Amino acid sequence: MLTLYPDAFPGVLDTSIIGTAAKNGLWQLETVDIRDFAVNRHRTVDGPPAGGGAGLVLKPDISAKAIDSVVRPDGNSGDDRPLLYMTPRGKPLTQDRVKQLAAGPGLVCFCGRFEGLDERVIESRGMEEVSIGDFVLAGGEVAAQAMIEACVRLLPGVLGNSDSAAEESFETGLLEYPLYTKPRMFEGREIPAVLSSGDHGAVDRWRRAQMEEITKARRPDLWDAHLKRQGDSPSRSE
């Protein structure tokens, strides 16, 4: 993890199943302080944007040195880990990409700050630009933690058997059905009767119908993709 704020790690990654998995040796995190590669006595890592404008840009020479301390630039180091740059203009992170990352050899992640990283480093180091959503954070640290948490929970041995990831939102291409637990009655709202019927077939059918209804209403993009996979033509008017 390349960051100007190493103290931000492990942060939330030290809690719950993700923290336990680290303690059990299922994954590990190394942080590199980008500022350690600064050359002047002020430890400067940023400069004004070429062409003018607001904010500051992470300097290419310092950033590249920090990256190269972890991943060799010639690509011949035998290190196959993808080099990711967290940025709002990146490709939106999906569960499919999370699954690929979790199945891979690990990852190297650069957390931006200020206005972002000099474009030449992104190009020369072949960085994969990743966004965690259409909003702007102050830095890449929280974005990186979100991505790592999503990956680590898919590593073998991290989730208990009862917490299978297979039925969760996005795994089936649909959003999850509504969840309930006891008490049966809460503030005048009752758990749907079918869930207490003991009829597993009926429960499955109800859940499936809920998944479809919720996905159709909330995420027409996912619903269209689902219909396409089913071999139907997409329709927004259903």
With beta carbons less than 8 A apart as the criterion, state whether 37 and 69 touch.
Answer: yes
Provide, for the chain, the percentages of residues in helix, strand and coil under a 3-state DSSP scheme, each rounded to the nearest 5.
40, 15, 45
Instruction: Round the CA-based radius of gyration of the chain to a whole number and report it.
Output: 22
According to the annotation, is 78 in a ligand binding site? no
Interaction of residue 137 with ligand SAM, rule CB under 6 A: yes
DSSP string, 137-189: -SSHHHHHHHHHHHHHTTSTTTS-GGG-GGGSTTTSSSPPPP---S-SEETTE
- Indicate the residue among 82 and 88 with the shorter CB distance to ligand SAM: 88
- Residues making up the chain, counted from first to last: 238
For residue 2, give Cα distances in angstroms to 67, 181, 236: 7, 42, 43
Considering only residues 33, 115, 171, 176, which one is a binding residue for ligand SAM as defined by CB under 6 A? 115
Verify cis geometry, omega within 30 degrees of 0, for the bond prior to 183.
Answer: yes
Considering only residues 59, 97, 113, 216, which one is a binding residue for ligand SAM as defined by CB under 6 A? 113
Backbone angles phi, psi at 136, to 5 degrees: -115, 120
Taking the complex as a whole, the smallest distance from the CB of residue 108 to ligand SAM amounts, in Å, to 14
CA-closest candidate to residue 133, choices 90, 85, 82, 176: 90
| Segments of the chain assigned E as strands | 2-3, 32-33, 46-47, 57-58, 83-92, 108-111, 128-131, 185-186, 189-190
With beta carbons less than 8 A apart as the criterion, state whether 66 and 38 touch.
Answer: no
According to the annotation, is 148 in a ligand binding site? no
Residues 86-105 that bind ligand SAM (CB under 6 A): 86-89
- Indicate the residue among 19 and 139 with the shorter CB distance to ligand SAM: 139
Interaction of residue 9 with ligand SAM, rule CB under 6 A: no
Considering only residues 133, 178, 192, 234, which one is a binding residue for ligand SAM as defined by CB under 6 A? 133
Stretch that binds ligand SAM, among 3-11, 39-47, 108-116, 230-238 (CB under 6 A): 108-116
Taking the complex as a whole, the smallest distance from the CB of residue 11 to ligand SAM amounts, in Å, to 15
Fill in the per-residue mask, 69 to 88: x = in contact with ligand SAM (CB under 6 A), - = not in contact.
Answer: -----------------xxx
Considering only residues 60, 106, 139, 220, which one is a binding residue for ligand SAM as defined by CB under 6 A? 139
Considering only residues 54, 136, 179, 185, which one is a binding residue for ligand SAM as defined by CB under 6 A? 136
Interaction of residue 48 with ligand SAM, rule CB under 6 A: no
Residues 143-202 that bind ligand SAM (CB under 6 A): 143
Per CB under 6 A, residues contacting ligand SAM are 86-89, 111-113, 115-116, 131-133, 135-140, 143
Specify binding-site residues for S-adenosyl-L-methionine: 112, 132-137
